[in-house]
Amino acid sequence: MSRRRDLLLQLADGQARSGEALAAELGVTRAAVWKQVQQLDDWGLEVVAVPGLGYRLKSPLDLLAEQELRAQLGSVVADRLRHLELHDEIDSTNDRLLAAIDLPCGRFDACLAEFQRAGRGRRGRAWIAPFASGLCLSVNWRFPEMPPQLASLSLVAGVAARRALGRVGVEDVALKWPNDLLRGGGKLGGILCELRAESAGPAYIVIGIGLNVCLPVGAAEAIGVSGLPPADLAGHAVGKTGFRAELAGALLNQLVLALMEFEHAGLAPFREEWSAVDALRGQPVSLHHAEGIRSGTAEGIDEDGALIFEAAGVRERVVSGEVSLRFGVDS
């Protein structure tokens, strides 16, 4: 365990600790404690120096622990888990699993990180999440052959994530085609599905899910500049130790069960549930693509998960990956 992690375990409850006490607990000098405190800024954490008392985190942290996370897994999912990785810091959980090899069909790996240096969303957008402020989680899966509706997998993952949120008491979550979770008009999370090319036969997919749990004000403002204002789960998580492990376990359970069902039945078992919480249906939207911007109305999804876009009385299918979709009509 790194010294920085050791320091965070001492400060995670948000209470002040003196430099002398921290140095004694960690077996280092007070100067080394000060240096580690300064480095916490790299993870987006704000440490307050309290005169006469020492250091404290501006906001308490609910840190993930592997044992707690494994305890949340149902037996069916636990039996299919090959590797579980939990990192303090990583470039990208998706990239980590894209590099994995020899995954048997029907098994999965899970990779979680408290902080990603190069986390990304759809179309390469940066994913902003200070240390332990959300969930950054990826799973991999190998299908025996390329599923005919593979492009709809982000919709299936959205349904699974929404089910998981319901398991921990989070309601009123809507889904925005093709890969966003919304709550209260803000973006709660996003999904990134990536396929590793195979010469023939099996299809290897990695699904990344990012959810905002307790976003600091500065991070929320930075996210809002680039698109929808963010939403988080602070109302459910603040003061509840273990909430993030409970949510991460629910996500793994629901996502793996959904992958098993999708492998045999495709989008059909999920389509009605997705459509019932479609945030865009009947709403004016703008399609942003290489040829320019087009305005129209979103009219739900078809049996393959493509968006039905209507403009000037003409309906067409829009496939995920072709365009960027935004609420409202651009002038």
Q: Catalytic residue numbers?
A: 122, 187, 326
The three-class DSSP label of residue 81 is strand
Q: What's the sign of the alpha-carbon dihedral 42, 44, 50, 54?
A: negative
In angstroms and rounded to an integer, the radius of gyration of the C-alpha atoms of the chain is 21
**CA nearest to 109, candidates 120, 118, 117, 98:** 98
Count CB neighbours of 200 within 10 A.
6
Q: Which residues of 77-86 are buried (b: 16+ CB within 10 A; e: fewer)?
A: beebbeebbb
Phi, psi of 187 (to 5 degrees): -85, 115
Structural contact between residues 255 and 247, judged by C-beta atoms closer than 8 angstroms: no
Q: What is the largest CA-CA distance in the chain?
A: 72
Read off the tokens for 12.
């995670």
**CA nearest to 250, candidates 146, 163, 144:** 163
In the sheet with 134-143, reading across from the earlier edge strand, the strands are 81-90, 108-116, 134-143, 203-212, 186-196, 180-183, 173-176
Interatomic CA distance for residues 259 and 256, integer angstroms: 5
Q: What does each C-alpha distance from 271 to 16, 17, 157, 306 come to in angstroms?
A: 50, 52, 12, 11
Q: What's the sign of the alpha-carbon dihedral 48, 53, 54, 59?
A: negative
* Ranges of H-type helices in the chain: 3-11, 19-26, 30-39, 66-71, 75-80, 93-98, 153-167, 217-225, 234-237, 243-265, 268-276
